[in-house]
Chain A
Amino acid sequence: MTDLPLLSARGLTKFYGERLGCRDVTFDLHEGEVLAVVGESGSGKSTLLGLLATELAPSAGAVHYRMRDGAVRDLSELTEAERRLLLRTDWGFVRQDAREGLRMGVSAGGNVGERLMAVGARHYGNIRAAASDWLARVEIEAGRIDDTPKSFSGGMRQRLQIARNLVTHPRLVFMDEPTSGLDVSVQARLLDLIRGLVAELGLAVIIVTHDLAVARLLSHRIMVMRRGRVIETGLTDQVLDDPREAYTQLLVSSVLAA
C-alpha cells in the first residue's frame, strides 16, 4: 500500500449561479478504499460526484489524481483526450439509470467490448472472449451476449454496466445510486456482486447513496452531506453506530436496522 492517495479533493466548491451545489469538500481516497457519500436529495452528493468525475467544473478547489504512470495530475488541467482516456480506462462510472450508462441498441457483448475497442483492441475473437468472461463474472448467462439491454431486467442492466466498466481494469469506480429503483432481492444480489468484485479487484470506489444499508454493506468510510457541506465523516460503522451530528443521528434513526 503506497501512502500517496489515489485521489485528493481540496476545497471543492460548486455554485450553480447563486445556488450552492457543494462547498469546501476536502478528502483523500486511497487505492482499494470504498467511500460512501450519503445524504438526502439536494444535499450536494451528486454534484460532488460530478466534480470528482470531471463532468462538472468546480467554482473553486481542485481534484488531484495519481495516474497509472505515477504522475499526480490536477484533473482540471487534463486535455479532453486525456480526460476521456482516463474515463474509460482507469475509471468507471456506474449510473443510477442504466440507460445513461449503456448503449441500449448495442448487444451486451458490444457494450462490454466498447471500452476495449476504444483503446485500440482490433481482434474480434479476443474482444468477444473478454466480453463473455466479464458477463460470466457479473452472472449474466453466456446465451445473452448478443441480446441488447432493452430485453434485460433492471438488475441485469446494472450488472452489465458493471461489466462494461470493469473490463479495462479501472482503479477507481464512481457509483451513483447503483441499486436504487431495484427490488429488494435484486438489490441484495447486486450489492453482493459489487462487494465481491471490489474486494477481489482492490477497487477504489466512491459511491453516492441515500441508502445507509448500502453504505454499511459496501463502504469502509462514509461522508455525510447536508446542504452542500460535509458534516460528518469517519469509519462507516463508527458513523452509523455512534453518529455525532444531530443530522446524522436523525438519518440513522430513520432507517430500520441500518
Chain B
Amino acid sequence: MKFSNSIGRAKVLICSKEAERENIYPGMTFTEARAVCSHLVWREYDDKFYKSAQKKLARELIAASPRVSTGESGLFFFDAEGFNRLGGENKLCRDVLKLVSRHGFVDGHIGLADCAFAARVASRSKSKRWYIVNPGCDTAFLSPLSIDFLPVTEEAKGSLKELGIKTIGQFTEVPVTSYAGRFDQSVLIAYDLACGRDSTQPALPPVEKQFQCIIDIGSATESLKETLFVFKTMLERLTRELLNNGLTADELTVTFFNDNDKFDERTIKLIRSSHNSRFLLDVLRLSLESKPLIREFTAVHLSVSRFSREYFEQKKATISKDFSSREELLLSGGDELDDSSEPVMLLLQRFMTRLGEDALVVPVLNDQYMPEQAGIWVPVVNASQSTTPVNEEFIQRFSDVKTTNQSRKDCLMPGLVLKRHTPAMPVFVQFKDNDSKEDYGEIDSKTPFKPAAVTYRGQWYHVNQVTTPERISGMWWEKPVRKSYYVALIEKKPEFAALSRAGYKAAGVRSILPNLMTVLLVYDHQERGWYVEGVFD
C-alpha cells in the first residue's frame, strides 16, 4: 500500500491472488478495501522483520548448498555446482523446496542456469516448480522470451517495443553500440544480462553478529535483587560489545531456565535504540516488576535480538535561563513535552514495559457516528490505528455557535462529559400507559414515547426529563448496531431520597448515589434491551 496522509486514504498498489478473491484490487483506498473485506488488517511494513526472516532462511539453506547469498526480498542465490555425484540437480531442487516448505514457505520456485539472471528468469516458470536450463544454453533459453523479463524501466520497454524489439533474442541481435547513447545505463546492463554475462555469484554467508550471553548460576534464584545483579553483569558485557561495534540495541530477549527447563521467555522492545547499560537494566527491572517470574531459575540467557547502527545527532543548543533559586527553576522550568527528549523517552519506556504499548494514548476524532466510535484513542508509542479523517475546520465553525443563557455565570465547553460503564449496565424501564418493551421496539419516530422510570444500581429513579432519541444504525460490515440514545435526567424516588447516610450503611449500600443524575439511556434494538451506557459527569 502507498501511504498518504492517513491510513484510510492509503491506496492498494499491488495485491495477491487471495486478496483479489476477496474483491480487493489495485487502486482501491484502504477504506474501500475494508468495506469489501471486513477482516482486512493494517500492518506497518517492517523492513527489519523481512530481512531477519530472509537471513534466517539463508542460514537454513546452507544445509543444501555450501554457498548461499541473499538478493532482494524473497530471493536467494545458491551454488548448484558439483551435485552430479550427490543425486543430481533435480534432487537438489527437491531437497531445497522441502527445506523451505518446512519453514513455512510453501510457494517456492527454483531456476537453475549458468548465470544468475537466466536462473532467475527460469524460476518464474508457471508450469514447473523448478526449471533447469541445460549447461551452455542460457542464451538459447532467454532468446524467445519477452523483453518484459529484462530489468529496465517501463519507458525503455515501451521504446524498445515501438522499435519492434519484442523478445530478448531480438534485443541481443542488435549490437550494443546501437543502444549506447540512445538508452540509459539500465538497458546496457540488461544487454549484458541477456547475453549471459552476469557477475552475481553466490558466496559464503557472512558471519552473523550475535550479542548474547548465558549465566548458569548453579543454584535456584528468585529474588529481584539477585536477578538484577546477574543482569547487570551481563548487560555490561553486552553493551561493551555493542559499543565496540558501533551498534545499539533495539530489542532484548530474556529466557529463564530451571534445570534445562525453559519456563519463561520475554521479548522487550525498546522505544529507542540504546547501549546504555543503566537504561537497559532499568527496562529489565520494570519488566520483572510488572510480570514477576512464576518460579525460581537456575540459568538465564540474555540476547540482543535486534540491533542497529548507532547514529549521532546534534542536540538543539539552548541558552539556559538565569534562575535565582532552585524553587524558581522548579516552578517555571522543567522539561518540555518533546517526544524525543530524554525524560519523555524514559517515561514512555517505563510505561510501555509495565503497562503495555497502548497505555498512553491521545484522543483523536474519528468520522463515525456511534458515541464510542466518534473518537478513538491512539497510542503515543507506535501509533498504528487508523482513523477516518474529520473536517476539523467545519466542526470548529459549528462549535463556535453557542446558545447563550443569560443566567449563567461561567460558560463551559458545550456538552457534558460521559463516563461510560464497561460493559453497559442492563436496566429495567417502566413506561407510561402500560406500554410493553416489545411494543416500544416497533414504534416509529412519529409515536412519542418516553420511559417513566429506570432502575440504576438496584434503585428506582423517576425520569424527570428525557431527550428525543438519537437513533443510529450501522457498522453492518463488522457487527450490526441499531440503537436509540436518550439523555435522561433521573431523580431518585422520594422513598429512597429520604434515606440517610446511616441508612445506606445499614442497608449495605456501598456508595451514595446522588438524587439527581444525568445518564445515557440506550435501547438496543438488536438485543431488545435497555441499558445505561454511562453517566454524564
User: Is B one of A's binding partners?
Assistant: no
Measured CB to CB, the residues of A under 8 A from B are none
Measured CB to CB, the residues of B under 8 A from A are none
